[in-house]
Amino acid sequence: KGKELGNGCCQHYHFDMGAQVSRRVEMEAELRIAIEEEQFILYYQPQVDFNGCIVGVEALVRWQHPGRGMIPPMEFIPAAEESGLITKLGEWVLQTACRQAKKWQDDGLPPIYMAVNLSARQFHQQNLLQVISQTIEQSGLDPQRLILEITETVAMKSAEYTTQVLQTLRSMGVQIALDDFGIGYSSLLYLKKFPVNLLKIDRSFIQDIDTEPEGGSIARAILGLAKNLQYTVVAEGVETVEQLNFLKKLQCDQMQGYIFSKPLPSAGITELLLTMLR
């Protein structure tokens, strides 16, 4: 069809499209194998409270590619989403995270939450509730220790469905966090309809604190309203002392970011938890 127009620019465009499509097909085939061979690993990033104590970790998946080394999630989650492979991968993530949390609990380490990300497609998968309840049951983890993170965009997509699913999860004891909050253009008052426990302020607003002239005004506004609405507020991507002090002054409940720790393999978290016992 491109040829009918008979212009080189158009051909070039189609050529690129073809390359893009074949890369995606290749990536999908590789992902399929990766899931079968369990080439994934979970890293865990600490979330600390006002006093700097670890209260939870967020599970973050990485792909240990046999030829290309460690691949970050932003480079393969979209392809996994598009191909539907996220369903399988997501189940593996949930299962691995719940088992790890149970293991820390059984080893007598300080009690912490385990936060797991759910993508849009996962959130809308048919048997979501069944998979979650089965995974919790099989792992033996106390459901109160599990936090599921969804973005506001995902939550807003179909408000009725979201309310129903979140209510069921809450009745199971699971907690819900709104991830990347503030970039989805939805109003907090609207989101208040959903039974959400935690609100994670997106990293971009935390960065603003020391890079913008009026920096921190959005973080301050979100924090003020969120606290009035009784959410537990978590700041994402805290990197500097300035950001930390600003958030402490505003009584931000929890923080997560490189200033405390990068995401670590499970053994690194075990170490940190052991030092809390001493």
Contact residues toward Mg ion (CB under 5 A) are: 117, 149, 179-180, 236
Residues paired with residue 176 on neighbouring β-strands, in sequence order: 148
**Least Å distance between CB 190 and ligand C2E?**
21
Give 3-state DSSP helix, strand, coil % of the chain, rounded to 5.
55, 20, 25
Long-range contacts, 257-260 (Cβ 8 Å, 24+):
257/203, 257/206, 260/46, 260/48, 260/52
Q: How far apart are CA 120 and CA 81, in angstroms?
A: 8
Shorter beta-carbon distance to ligand C2E: residue 30 or 236: 236
* Binding of ligand C2E by 253 (CB under 6 A): no
Q: Choose among 174, 231, 238, 166: nearest CA to 202.
A: 238
Could you tell me which of 128, 133, 179 has the C-alpha nearest to residue 156? 179
Minimum Å distance from CB 119 to ligand C2E?
4
Q: From the list ligand C2E, Mg ion, none, which binds 215 (C-beta under 5 to 8 Å, kind-based)?
A: none
How many amino acids of this chain bind ligand C2E (CB under 6 A)? 24
Q: Which amino acid is at 91?
A: E
Question: Are the beta carbons of 43 and 263 closer than 8 angstroms?
Answer: yes
Q: Is 152 in the site for ligand C2E (CB under 6 A)?
A: no
Shortest CB 6 distance to Mg ion, Å: 46
Place of tokens 């300035």: 242
Q: Half-sphere exposure (CA, 13 Å, Cβ side) for 111?
A: 6
Q: In the numeric block, which tokens belong to residue 58?
A: 């967020």
When binding is defined by CB under 6 A, the residue of 139, 180, 231, 272 that contacts ligand C2E is: 180
Interface stretch with ligand C2E, choices 17-25, 68-76, 103-111, 140-148 (CB under 6 A): 68-76
Residue 135 is a binding residue for ligand C2E (CB under 6 A) = no
72 near ligand C2E, judged by CB under 6 A = yes
Q: Are 270 and 54 in contact (CB under 8 A)?
A: no
Please list every residue from 47 through 66 that binds ligand C2E, using CB under 6 A. 59-61
Q: Which does 263 bind (CB under 5 to 8 A by kind): ligand C2E, Mg ion, none?
A: ligand C2E
Amino acid letter, 27: M
Residue 9 or 74: the one with the smaller Cβ distance to ligand C2E is 74
Residues that bind ligand C2E (CB under 6 A): 45, 59-61, 72-74, 77, 90, 93, 117-119, 149, 179-180, 236-239, 256-258, 263
